[in-house]
Amino acid sequence: MQRQYAEVYRELYDRHWWWRAREDRIVSALRELQLSGRNATILDVGCGDGLFFDRLREFGIAEGVEPDTSLLRPDAPYRDRIHTRPFDETFRPGGGREYDVILMLDVLEHLPDAQGALTHALSLLAPGGIVVATVPAFQALWTNHDVINQHIVRYDRAAFFALAGAAGMRIDSARYFFHWVAPVKLATHLAERLNSGNGRVRHPRPPRVPPWVINRTLYWLTRLEQRLFERVSLPFGSSLLIIGGRPDERLAGQRKHAMATHTTG
């Protein structure tokens, strides 16, 4: 992560409407999987400073992996649960520890070897465990925001299915979200291309928390959208949410029922 972005990361996570709405969407997905109160073992890959750990307590005990030390505070409350290292085949938790849930939230788009990371995540799952991943959607929505985030690629559903197939991942659900953001990002993409074609290249700046009224309005607009389309799989969005696991396993009966309304399209 670029230094300027790292400096504002905590404030963005705590206050920015996009981060707040994404966290709510992930919590909703875990509840739909009937994980509340299950005391699950959870690994949050790319966890930053463990900022999601408080809300994950509803589902179990979380630990994390974070290779970017600029995001970590020595006095953070969950510092002792965060492994400061890359997430690759060399990451092997002590005692052969396995995880019921592995979160990879906006992680894979950063990695040169996304297939290897996803394969390794699957190898760390306990029997019946699941991977929950989010990625930015559609290469056509690429903007300077992707540049400052050091993204390598944005995924559509077909591209992620290809990645999952190569990694050996079973997909139970693949749904776009942040639907209203997609046309806004497309317009931004076109405007940036037009400006660069005219020789006006703007250097990307890290995002900022909008003024309070705008920030709350966009948050509630996004939450309303999530509720309206909770049971509808739209073919577009600026992000993609994927849930799956190892192909040689099948979800337990309760999880099958919980996922029945989430088609892979």
pLDDT at 74: 84
Res 249: pLDDT: 72
State the chain's mean pLDDT as an integer. 89
Is residue 255 predicted with pLDDT exceeding 50? Answer: no
Which residue type occupies 11?
E
Contact by Cβ (8 Å): 43, 63: yes
Strand partners of residue 30: none
Say if residue 1's pLDDT is above 60.
no
Give the start-to-end residue ranges of the domains of the chain.
3-217+229-259
pLDDT surpassing 90 at residue 195: no
Please state whether the predicted TM-score (pTM) of the whole model is above 0.85. Answer: yes
Q: HEC string of 57-115? A: CCCEEEEEECCCHHHCCCCCCCHHHEECCCCCCCCCCHHHCCEEEEEEECCHHHCCCHH
pLDDT at 17 over 50: yes
Superfamily of domain 3-217+229-259 in CATH is: Vaccinia Virus protein VP39 (3.40.50.150)
Give residue 200's pLDDT.
58
pLDDT of residue 39: 93
* pLDDT tens profile 132-184: 999 999 999 999 999 988 999 999 999 999 999 999 999 999 999 999 999 99
Query: Percentage of residues in the chain with pLDDT exceeding 90?
Result: 73
Burial class, 124, CB count within 10 angstroms (exposed 0-12 / middle 13-18 / buried 19+): buried
